[in-house]
Structure 1
Amino acid sequence: MAQTNGNDPFSPPVSQERVVITNKHGERLVGLLHHTASNKIVVLCHGFIATKNDSLILDLAEALTKEGISVFRFDFSGNGESEGQFEYGNYRKEADDLHSVVLYLCQKSYDIAAVVGHSKGGDVVILYASVHDDVGTIVNLSGRFDLRKGIEERIGEGSIDKINKEGYLDVKDKSGMNGGLGSYCCAITYSLSFVCVFFTVLEPM
């Protein structure tokens, strides 16, 4: 367990501990616990194609611990050091990952002050709050509102129509080889249909 207090002599001492949590699918989620003298803790959730070591997540962790608040940052399944297969959509599973983290921290007698998600993680924490009522404060940082936008720019024009019609999409790389992303695209459709409905409920009248 590492002991740090950054470059600020007035910052409270912070211990850092690598933590492994098993999710409901039996996959090991790897996180880093920044423990201050307080049992109040904030959980940080990274965005798409990112990890717990994303610069914004690190900045948030530093700012919170300087205020004496403990922090837990982790890799969703299929990302970073955590086990599992990376998928494009997968919002429900990542919300399940977050629930496993929350349960673990509660068992360790932490008082979860907030869960904070950036980008895709912002959508995940809102989805989490729609299912669970065990965290009082949910913070969405730059989460995408309309998840339909940006998909075709990433995987090709007409891809959404093809997914809706055939249920999958084979994505080829620049060399013409199959990219093996069919399962990712199924996850896109599954997640889009659910999360967009959820956001529609919250849309101001």
Structure 2
Amino acid sequence: MIEEKVTIANEKGLKLVGVLHLPTGRKRCPAVINLHGFTGYKEEENSSSLARDLASKGYVVIRFDASGDGESEGTLSDDYRMTNYLSDIDSVYQYLIHHPCVDPEKIGVWGHSMGATLSLIWGSMHNEIKVICAVSPPIELGSTDWLGPRLESWKRTGWFSKISSNGNIEKRIPWAFVEDARKYNVLKFVQGVKSPTMIVLGLSDDTVPPEQSRKIYRRLTCKKELIEVEGMSHDYKKFPDQVLKVNEKVLPFFRQFL
């Protein structure tokens, strides 16, 4: 298995930085795009471990930082928006389908949290995608259901500060992120999803309550599967045993449909 850092230009000309996982000894493999969550980054354990597991089974996988985040170009204040993240996914998808080691007819997508919501929204626009896996997707990132009392202070100050799990870096997200996110209530999109879809939720998730993910699942009209994981929190990426539990559920689903 090979891991290599790659750069991909998005439609604005900003460089997206990703890690490409290539299985050894095979050509024209199915491929998966991994999407990180809000203020997340491509090295998080849930994404990186799943990428390695998939690559060991013969899949090409790419995990990348959204524009304005991580190693990718752009700024949080100007570029960190769900609209731009969706466009970034398009750029990464185009990169994959033209890669010599990828079967362009066999592409799937996985995401966690905001990345899960975007996997569903993007998937609703791309019926050619073969499979979607959404882990703990919030219904709307600009809503009080997700932000709670933080929403009022965010609007008042114009910023939301969060310490990233990537080196304890403070990230300041502008109110413009919320205004953009309100365009993307996932319930308005999911009936357009035609690809087989797995929803994974954690029964101990107090950031995205399980009922939100169940509501999304019920709205889906495609072939679908719901996995409820006992003891799984929203930040399951910090707990190796929880990551293992989730990956053990996700891998067979990808193998079935991709």
- If the length of structure 1 is used for normalisation, what is the TM-score? 0.74
Are 1:94 and 2:88 an aligned pair?
no
Are 1:139 and 2:133 an aligned pair?
yes
- The aligned length equals 176
**Partner of 1:43 in structure 2?**
33
Ranges in structure 2 where 5+ consecutive residues have no aligned partner? 162-169, 191-215, 220-258
Pairing of 1:51-200 with structure 2 (within 5 A): 51-86=41-76, 90-109=81-100, 110-111=102-103, 112-147=106-141, 148=143, 149-156=145-152, 169-171=157-159, 184-192=174-182, 194-196=183-185, 198-200=186-188
Shift of 1:93: 1.0
RMSD: 2.7
Structure number with higher strand proportion: 2
Contact 1:29 / 1:81 at 8 angstroms: preserved in 2? Answer: yes
Q: State how far apart, in whole Å, the 2-side matches of 1:35 and 1:50 are.
A: 23
Shift of 1:84: 0.9
Q: State how far apart, in whole Å, the 1-side matches of 2:177 and 2:184 are.
A: 12
Contact 1:32 / 1:72 at 8 angstroms: preserved in 2? Answer: yes
- If the length of structure 2 is used for normalisation, what is the TM-score? 0.60
Q: State how far apart, in whole Å, the 2-side matches of 1:170 and 1:73 are.
A: 30
Aligned pair in 2 of structure 1 residues 32, 180: CA closer, same or farther (>3 Å)?
closer
Q: Which residue identity lines up with residue 188 of structure 1 in the other structure?
A: V
SS at match of 1:21: strand
Shift of 1:156: 4.0
Aligned pair in 2 of structure 1 residues 152, 41: CA closer, same or farther (>3 Å)?
same
Contact 1:170 / 1:180 at 8 angstroms: preserved in 2? Answer: no
Aligned pair in 2 of structure 1 residues 28, 201: CA closer, same or farther (>3 Å)?
closer
Contact 1:19 / 1:31 at 8 angstroms: preserved in 2? Answer: yes
SS at match of 1:105: helix
Q: State how far apart, in whole Å, the 2-side matches of 1:79 and 1:67 are.
A: 29
Aligned pair in 2 of structure 1 residues 71, 171: CA closer, same or farther (>3 Å)?
closer
**Partner of 2:13 in structure 1?**
26
Q: Which residue identity lines up with residue 195 of structure 1 in the other structure?
A: Y
Shift of 1:113: 2.9
Aligned pair in 2 of structure 1 residues 83, 152: CA closer, same or farther (>3 Å)?
same
CA deviation map 1:45-81 (0-9, x unaligned): 1111111100111111122122121211111111110
Find the structure with the greater CA-based Rg: 1
**Partner of 1:8 in structure 2?**
none
